[in-house]
Chain A
C-alpha cells in the first residue's frame, strides 16, 4: 500500500554491491513532501548508497522504493529521475559544461526545452544563487563554494520537487559551508522542495526537520535533530559533535542555568549574562 503526500516511501529496501558486501538491509522509511531530512551515520554505513538508490542511480536488490506514488523500477526510472535532483560531494566532478552558463543549461538540454525557456531559467536561477556575474567563467576560475553554488543552480534550474544533497558541504570551507546552509534554509522556506541531506555538519542537521541515523545497514534512530544532539551515545556512534550553541547550553545547565531545548543565540547570550551577573 502506498501513501499519498509522501515524496519517498521505502519498503524493506535491501542492497548489496556483491554477495560479500551487503550495505543496506530492510530499510523502511517514509519521507513526506516538503520535509527536510538529514541522513546521518558513521562513514561506510551506506548513506551515499541510499542516496544513489533514492536518485535512481542504483537499483535495489530487495524491497521497493516508491517515489510520489510511482514505484522506482528500471522501466520508470527515466520518468521519475526528472523529479529528483542530486548535488554531490565534489563540486569539481559535477561540472559538465565548459562555462557556468553551459553547465546550468546541460540538464535543460536533456529535457529538450526550447532555447528561450532555457535562457530564462539559466538567468533566473543564476540570480537566485547569486552567480550571475560568473556565467561566462570556466570552472577552473571558480572557488569550491562558487562551484557548489553552480551545482545547486544547475539542479534547481531543472525544477525538481526533491533534492538530495550527498555530503555537499564536506569539501567546502567554513564560509562556503555557511552560504550553502543559507541556500538550503531558503529552499526549505520556499516550501517547494523535499530535501534530503547526507551530512556530518551539525549546523546542517540542526536546520533540518528530522534526523535519520543509519548504522550497520539499517535505521538506528529517526528523531528530531535536537533529540539527536541530546543523545550523547547516539552522537558518539555517528561520530558527530553537537553544534557549539548546544554544547555551550549543556555546560550552562551544569552551572544551573536552564535553557529551552531549542534555544537561539539570544537565549544563550541572556543565560551567559545571567551567569556572569550571578558571579
Chain B
C-alpha cells in the first residue's frame, strides 16, 4: 500500500527532460492541458498523442509507468466515455436499446474524450517522474511568484502543499493500523454491510483527525526548532537557471497548442 502511494516520486534516468527547468515543465503542462481541452477531432488527437509519446520516450522512463499513472482513473474514463455515448446524438445510428440509441458521433466523441483524459493523466506524470518534489516546489514557487503582488506568499503555499503530500502516505499508514486494531476487536470493515461500513468510516475519522493534529503540532515544533519563521527570508537549496533549452521546451508546447487549434478551423 505504502509503495503504491509514493506521491511525487521521481524516477531518475538522467534524460534531458529531467534537466529542464521545473518552471518550464509547469508552463508546458498548463499549455498541454489547454491543447488537450481544445482537441476535438481524431487528427488533432493523433498529433497530441504523437507529441506525448515523443516526450515520454525522451524521458527514458518505460512507457508502462505512464500507463500505470493513468490506471487509477479508469473508472472516470469509462464514465466520460459513457456520458458522451449517451448524450451525443450525431451521425449514423449504430445500435438501439428501447428509446436510447448509440450514434457514430457519440461513440467517436466518447472515445476522443476518454483518450484525452488518458493522455492528460499519463502525460502529466512526466512532471512528477522527471522532477524531484523539492525542485517541483521551487518551480511552483517561481511560477506563482506574481501572487506576491496580491499578498499571497508562493513559498508558504508550496511548503504547505509539499508537507501535505509528504504526510499522505503516513496518514494512510496510520488509518490502516487503526482499521487493523478495530478488526482485531471484532469490527472488521471487510465483513460489514455497506451501511455499517459508512458508520465505521465516520468513527475512523475521529482518531485519524486527532492523530493528524498531533502530528502537525509535533511538526511545527520540529520546524521551529530548525529555525523556521513564517515570512523570514530563506535561501534555496535548489538553484534554478533558465536556459535556451527551457525556452525551446515551452515553445514546443506553444506549437502543439497552435497546431491543435488550427484543426478547429480546418
Q: Tell me the A residues contacting B by CB distance below 8 Å.
A: 52, 55, 57, 78, 81-82, 84-86, 88, 90, 92-99, 101-102, 105-115, 118-119, 136, 138-141, 154-155, 158
Contacts and interface: CB of A to CB of B under 8 A. Distances in A.
Contact of A93 (B9, B218, B235): B218
B99 interface: no
Interface of B: 2-3, 5-6, 8-9, 12, 132-134, 137, 162-163, 165-166, 169-170, 173, 215, 218-219, 221-229, 232-237, 239
Contacts of B225: 55, 57, 81, 84-86
B6 A141 contact: yes
Contacts of A96: 163, 166, 219, 222-223, 226
A65 to B, nearest CB: 15
Contact of B227 (A82, A90, A114, A138): A82
Contact of A107 (B169, B226, B239): B226
A182 to B, nearest CB: 23
B134 A97 contact: yes
B218 A94 contact: yes
B132 A99 contact: yes
Contact of A109 (B12, B215, B222, B234): B234
Q: Give the interface SS of chain B, mostly helix, strand, loop or mixed.
A: helix
Contacts, number: 111
B134 A102 contact: yes
28 contacts: A57-B224, A78-B229, A81-B225, A88-B218, A92-B170, A93-B219, A93-B222, A96-B163, A96-B222, A96-B223, A98-B132, A98-B162, A98-B166, A101-B134, A101-B237, A106-B223, A107-B226, A110-B227, A110-B229, A110-B232, A112-B235, A114-B235, A136-B12, A138-B8, A140-B2, A140-B6, A140-B170, A154-B226
A82 to B, nearest CB: 6
Given A93-B219, A102-B133, A111 B227 contact: yes
Contacts of B221: 52, 57, 86, 88
Contact of B234 (A112, A119, A155): A112
B218 A115 contact: no
Contacts of B8: 98, 138
A141 to B, nearest CB: 7
Contacts of B5: 140
B237 A105 contact: yes
Contacts of B2: 140
Nearest to B165: A98
Nearest to B222: A94
A85 B227 CA distance: 9
B227 A136 contact: no
A111 B173 CA distance: 33
A113 B137 CA distance: 19
B170 A158 contact: no
Contacts of A99: 132-134
Contacts of A95: 166
B235 A109 contact: yes
Task: Please provide the 3 A-B residue pairs with the shortest distance between their CB atoms, ordered closest to farther.
Answer: A98-B133, A107-B226, A94-B222
